[in-house]
Structure 1
């Protein structure tokens, strides 16, 4: 069995997220040169043979069984993004709620490798969640101004999480992203 697990951290409430969103710096985003996913070391070891991906799969699943290498070999997972339930961990991606490239465009380009590694493996804030792989791949590096969670009932939680992560890491937002988040948060 892997390390002790807990539920995904709940995002801040809507009122707090609205306040945080109001304080975020608005910058029209361009992608600074030099982005590479490898500049965000991810799926680092958390305990024993368990890396961040396996910790999230164990945390977000039900009746998860892990092998000696800490890989999820059985269980079920509910994807908050689309409402699908999966019996096979290979059907899931671990989504960075704020994608790595989005973070790069929003200020992480000036971080140290250690800061980017902390961001990419953050189990303390609502930054990592197990979701249907093709939904996550469709999201890619898009922000809420360009992509929104398909399951309408999860949009408020996703927006609260997005803002909380951006606020904690002092990342900027662009105007379309801020407008989209504000619209969702005002209806929460």
Structure 2
């Protein structure tokens, strides 16, 4: 990634809204999750911000003494893959879902299909952006969301419409074809917690572009780490 591209991303990232505004959940240094209704909310200055109570409690936080949240309130904020549609979509009705369309488009040779229906890609030639390895068997590959769905849910996507979430999940600009093993290793982590063996600058830049495109809100610690990665990539 060039110096100019890195600088532009850093400048735009600086304008991105962060989790940490007055309407987020604050996990204090003592591990207590304070929502805006907490009597101690304004007094908590040193905190990690979360977009919802569920995320804060899953991180190891707890509610203030004397307060409680109903299980219904917590469950309503839980991430589910179903919030982003029923798996990979086939918007154009050609029998190829997003995964197989991306496989076909990004193969460097004509692909082979499972049968004459040409719905399921089984062989081709792909160069992994995570390792630069050449892979020909589609069964060894995953269509990886650069910005993971559960990551997005905790940083603003929980407030989106179902239609916008499904669009996000099937946006080709948010999909990479990579080794299944590395996709599993990455799981739902952002660049602050996981980077690929190779192509780290390009990966972080693409991650940042998707975050900016959908106006997702990283917390302050994530923001600083991503910004630092981009600054190191300037040269």
Q: Same fold (TM over 0.5)?
A: yes
Match of 1:142 in 2: 189
Q: Residue 72 of structure 1: which of 121, 145, 166 is its match?
A: 121
Q: Quick one: which of 90, 93, 105 aligns to 1:59?
A: 105
Q: Work out whether 1:119 is the aligned partner of 2:171.
A: no
Aligned residue pairs, count: 173
Q: SS of 2:17's equivalent?
A: coil
Residues 1:132 and 2:179 are matched in the alignment: yes
Deviation sequence 1:86-134 (CA, Å, 0-9, x none)? 12101111111000000000000011110100000012xx311100001
Shift of 1:21: 1.2
1:21 aligns with 2:13: yes
* Structure 1 unmatched ranges of 5 or more: 1-11
Decide which moves more: 57-66 or 94-103: 57-66
- The answer to whether the aligner puts 1:104 opposite 2:153 as a matched pair is yes
Aligned residue in 2 for 1:83: 132
Secondary structure of the corresponding residue to residue 50 of structure 1: coil
Local SS of the residue matching 2:142: strand
> Unmatched 5+ residue regions in structure 2?
20-48, 56-73
Does the alignment pair 1:155 with 2:147? no
* Partner Cα separation in structure 1 for residue 127 and residue 134 of structure 2: 4
Rounded Cα–Cα distance in structure 1 between residues aligned with 2:105 and 2:176? 9
**SS where residue 142 of structure 1 aligns?**
coil
Q: Could you state the TM-score of these two structures normalised by the residue count of structure 1?
A: 0.85
Provide the rounded CA distance (Å) in 1 between the counterparts of 2:231 and 2:78.
Answer: 36
Q: Give the superposed CA RMSD.
A: 1.8
Decide which structure has the larger Cα Rg and report it: 2
Which of 47, 54, 79 is matched with 1:35 structurally?
Answer: 79
